[in-house]
Amino acid sequence: MEKIEIETEIRTMPRIGDEAPKFTAVTTQGEINFPDDYTGEWVILFSHPADFTPVCTSEFITFASLEEKFANANCKLVGLSIDGLYSHIAWLRTIKEKIEFNGMKNVEVKFPLIEDITMDVAKKYGMIQPGESKTQAVRAVFFIDPKGIVRAIIYYPLSLGRNFDEIYRALIAMQTADTFNVATPADWNPGDDVIVSPAGSCGVAEERMKNTDDLDCKDWFFCTKKLDKNEVFKKVLKK
């Protein structure tokens, strides 16, 4: 009996803790080598379904308006679409010249927008989700640290615009965790208490329960401490 071979395209995506897949790409700001060009900086790499679409337009206006805020947190923005370079340029010009959203207008997008007609980059990062669309990238967000390691991933469907407060909050929370060797609880924002790593031994656990000066321990495994908002911003932000 003749064997019938079925070709199946295997789609993979980076996991948290993996090195960010490398690529070279043409963008609206020239060629980039990713993530090597961003060594020493955090990067948010995000994808959108298509140019000249309303949800994507609202997101690009918002990201561009917040670019300086992210830059002050040592973070660069890099966008991606499977549309071509000339489409990107025309769309970004339209955004600047014609579109107003949430009081933002005349917004110039200065961060790179990757041309990915071949979908090579989108496939490397698992941005093509066939159940959602075989021809458009979903709204993926990759947080990549200064060493080129993927630290967090958020995926949104085509119809759902991103929450930019959460994207910024997540960035600052991860930087705070790295800088102060702590964890951040649910809904944490700078100025809120942070979580101290669970005790690794019975002796440490007992000592923590007795220590009422620096720690607030509800039980041996759940201890928090104060971390001043100004201290967080002093260590995390450039200014």
For residue range 57-92, list pLDDT tens digits in order.
Answer: 999 999 999 999 999 999 999 999 989 999 999 999
Of 92, 95, 66, 78, residue with least CA distance to 31: 78
Please name the helix (run of DSSP H) or strand (run of DSSP E) that holds residue 138, with its range, or none: none
Cα distance between residue 232 and residue 214, in whole Å: 17
Sketch out the chain's domains with CATH numbers: 23-162 (3.40.30.10), 181-236 (3.30.1020.10)
Q: Measured between alpha carbons, how far is 55 from 3 in angstroms, rounded to an integer?
A: 47
Partners of 105 in beta bridges? 100
Band of pLDDT at residue 8, cut at 50, 70 and 90: very low
Q: Out of 56, 75, 217, 223, which one is annotated catalytic?
A: 56
pLDDT at 212 over 70: no
Q: What single letter denotes the amino acid at residue 132?
A: E
Element (H, E) at 181: none
What is the pLDDT of the chain when averaged over all its residues?
89
Condensed to tens digits (0 to 9), the pLDDT of residues 162-201 reads: 999 999 999 999 999 999 999 999 999 999 999 987 655 5
Is residue 208 part of an annotated ligand binding site?
no
The dihedrals phi and psi of 141, each to the nearest 5 degrees, come to -130, 120
Q: How many H helices and E strands in the chain? A: 7, 12
| Paired strand residues for 215 | 225
Reduce the DSSP state of residue 166 to 3 states and report it: helix
How would residue 220 be classed by pLDDT, with cut points 50, 70 and 90? confident
Return all residues near 203 (Cβ < 8 A) that are at least 6 apart: none
In this predicted structure, the answer to whether residue 129 has a pLDDT above a threshold of 90 is: no
- pTM here? 0.89
Distance of alpha carbon 112 from alpha carbon 130, whole angstroms? 26
Q: How confident is the model at residue 6 (pLDDT cuts 50, 70, 90)?
A: very low
Strand 150-156 vs strand 222-225: parallel, antiparallel, or unpaired?
A: unpaired
Give catalytic status of residue 56 as yes or no.
yes
Q: What is the CA radius of gyration of the chain?
A: 21
The length of the chain in residues reads 239
Query: Are the C-beta atoms of 196 and 224 separated by less than 8 Å?
Result: yes
pLDDT average, residue stretch 203-222: 71
